[in-house]
Amino acid sequence: MDLGIKGKKAIVNGGSSGMGRGAVLALAKEGVEIFVSARGEERLVRSCEEISELTNALITPIVADHSTDKGRELILSLCPEPDIFVGTCAPPSFTGDFHSVSMEAWTETLSIALQSPVQFMNEILPGMCDRKWGRVVNIATAAAKYPSAARILSGPPRAALVNYTVAVSKEVAKHNVCVNNILPGMHITDPIIEMFTNIAKENGTTMDEEIKNVCNEHKIAAGRFGDPDDVGSVVAMLCSEFSNYITGQSLIVDGGVTNSTF
């Protein structure tokens, strides 16, 4: 299905792995020119080359920390007028006792998960409005809507981001600029693989067994963790011409864990 975005330009922050990489892949399949940022050069370049070879899309890797002024300046200097912006980042670690979370950890996660996407939107939304077309999708977390002490560093900053983006979406919708959020649950990303591999070693089990236990404990209806590429496909849908009347929404993608009617 042609999503009508071939030739558009996109910035994807945190796009070297996980759900960010899934977004790059899905947009590349649609013929979007993509500027992908991440802090780790080796994995970033390898990922961009793999996706470019697979899709023939034009992809520019940018080694940068998008939470810093220097990083944002570099990214926007290479793509000053994006049609699409996808904001994501490596999630902070799971927390134990919330009292033990340091101020340094709070400062870091607020900078990456809240201040960075807000500042990017402030930079790019005026141009999107002038051109009468734009798509913004932030990949946040289901913990923004359904709080968990284990995700105390992840949920609150992204809950603030969701609040901000929904408010902003109302101001730019008349210019055919749509701003939405994706709130994913548990997906098979590198940090999850590492965490559950370590748990399995401690318990003398396998990673698959430990994941199954979590699915049962938390009543994940799908009976499995998600695939990051599936999130990428949802990103592409929200960036498409067919989503021009969807804005200010926060879509839960969690395999049926949450049971809210609306």
Domain map (residue ranges) of the chain: 9-187+229-253, 188-225
Residue 127's CB: how many other CB atoms inside 10 A? 14
Cα separation of 109 and 90, whole Å? 10
**Cβ(209)–Cβ(200) under 8 Å?**
yes
CATH architecture of 9-187+229-253: 3-Layer(aba) Sandwich (3.40)
pLDDT tens figures, 144-179: 888 878 778 888 889 999 999 999 999 999 999 999
Going by pLDDT thresholds of 50, 70 and 90, the confidence category of residue 261 is: confident
Percentage of residues in the chain with pLDDT exceeding 70? 97
In this prediction the pTM is: 0.93
Cα dihedral 200, 203, 204, 208 sign: negative
CA distances to 66, 99, 185, 231, 240 from 117, rounded to whole Å, are 9, 27, 20, 19, 20
Written as one string, the DSSP assignment of 68-83 is: SHHHHHHHHHH-SS-S
Cα dihedral 143, 146, 149, 153 sign: positive
Q: Which residues pair with 179 in a beta bridge?
A: 136
pLDDT tens figures, 229-257: 999 999 999 999 999 999 999 999 999 98
pLDDT tens figures, 75-109: 999 999 999 999 987 666 666 667 777 888 888 88
